[in-house]
């Protein structure tokens, strides 16, 4: 019963995504299995592929290495960091976790198609787009002015949006870029960062998990 329910959910999500893409002017071809996807790729070369890992027959993980010279955004309900890293290292340009906001998916697609030469330097979270090559962050085409430490903190949180990062982990992750940041000053930097994000977006995107650390909302 669960498998049937999941299959129906996947079909619904696929229909929703296809409708949104067509409304935004994209041409869409769908494949319902890994084997069918390979057949489609023999006759056409798309600009971008949205790859669900839970495909019947040939899985998404097995299909990914067979896709050459086409940017692939993985779409999956799997949230473990190790799996994400392996897929990104294995050729995927981005990874979005179900359930997702269709606006975020469209933003990620737009980023990949707009500037394919720097696709690996782009990090997207909801309406936020971080360009690590240009060292900039923008929302709704408005750049957010951040200090070096604030930028380093936000980058790590955006790279792991569903994961709570402890204070010690965060200090370790940003130590190369901001070695002067300490446990006491970290609170101040995060407070300033939250205010800047809230001022421009109207929402608080960073959640403090009491006694543990921080994560994106």
Task: Band the pLDDT of 5: cuts 50, 70, 90.
Answer: very low
For the whole model, what pTM was predicted? 0.52
pLDDT at 191: 94
Q: Counting beta carbons within 10 angstroms of the beta carbon of residue 81, is it exposed (0 to 12), middle (13 to 18) or buried (19 or more)?
A: exposed
Give the pLDDT confidence of 107-143 residue by residue, as tens digits: 999 888 875 554 456 788 888 888 887 788 888 668 8
Fold assignment, 138-216: Arc Repressor Mutant, subunit A (1.10.10)
Instruction: Tell me what pLDDT residue 91 has.
Output: 86
Indicate if the alpha-carbon torsion angle 139, 141, 147, 152 is positive or negative. positive
Smallest CA-to-CA distance from 77 within 6, 1, 157, 163 is with 6
Alpha-carbon span 51 to 14, nearest angstrom: 11
Residues comprising the chain, all counted: 217
Q: What is the sign, positive or negative, of the torsion defined by CA atoms of 48, 133, 205, 182?
A: positive
Distance in angstroms (rounded) separating the CA atoms of residues 14 and 6 = 12
Cα angle 151, 137, 161 (rounded to 5 degrees) comes to: 70
The CATH fold of domain 2-114 = Rossmann fold (3.40.50)
β-sheet bridge partners, residue 76: 97
CATH 3.40.50.2300 boundaries in the chain: 2-114
- From residue 158, alpha-carbon distances to 28, 124, 137 in Å are 29, 7, 11
Average pLDDT over residues 135-155: 88
**Average pLDDT, integer, range 77-94:** 87
Ranges of CATH 1.10.10.10 domains, the chain: 138-216
pLDDT at res. 118: 43
């Amino acid at each position: 019963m669960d498998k049937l329910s999941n299959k129906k959910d996947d079909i619904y999500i696929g229909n929703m995504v296809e409708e949104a893409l067509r409304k935004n002017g994209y041409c869409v071809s769908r494949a319902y299995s890994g084997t069918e996807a390979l057949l489609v790729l023999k006759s056409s070369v798309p600009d971008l592929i949205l790859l669900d890992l839970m495909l019947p027959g040939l899985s998404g993980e097995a299909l990914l290495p067979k896709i050459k010279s086409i940017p692939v955004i993985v779409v999956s309900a799997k949230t473990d960091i190790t799996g994400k890293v392996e897929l990104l290292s294995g050729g995927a340009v981005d990874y979005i976790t179900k359930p997702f906001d269709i606006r975020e998916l469209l933003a990620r697609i737009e980023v990949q198609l707009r500037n394919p030469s720097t696709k690996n330097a782009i990090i997207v979270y909801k309406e936020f787009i971080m360009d690590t090559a240009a060292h900039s962050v923008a929302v709704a085409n408005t750049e957010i002015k951040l200090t070096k430490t604030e930028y380093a903190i936000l980058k790590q949180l955006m790279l792991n949006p569903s994961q709570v990062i402890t204070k010690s982990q965060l200090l370790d992750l940003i130590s190369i870029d901001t070695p002067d940041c300490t446990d006491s000053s970290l609170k101040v930097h995060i407070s300033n960062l939250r205010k800047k994000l809230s001022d421009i977006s109207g929402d608080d995107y960073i959640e403090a998990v009491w006694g543990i650390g921080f994560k994106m909302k």
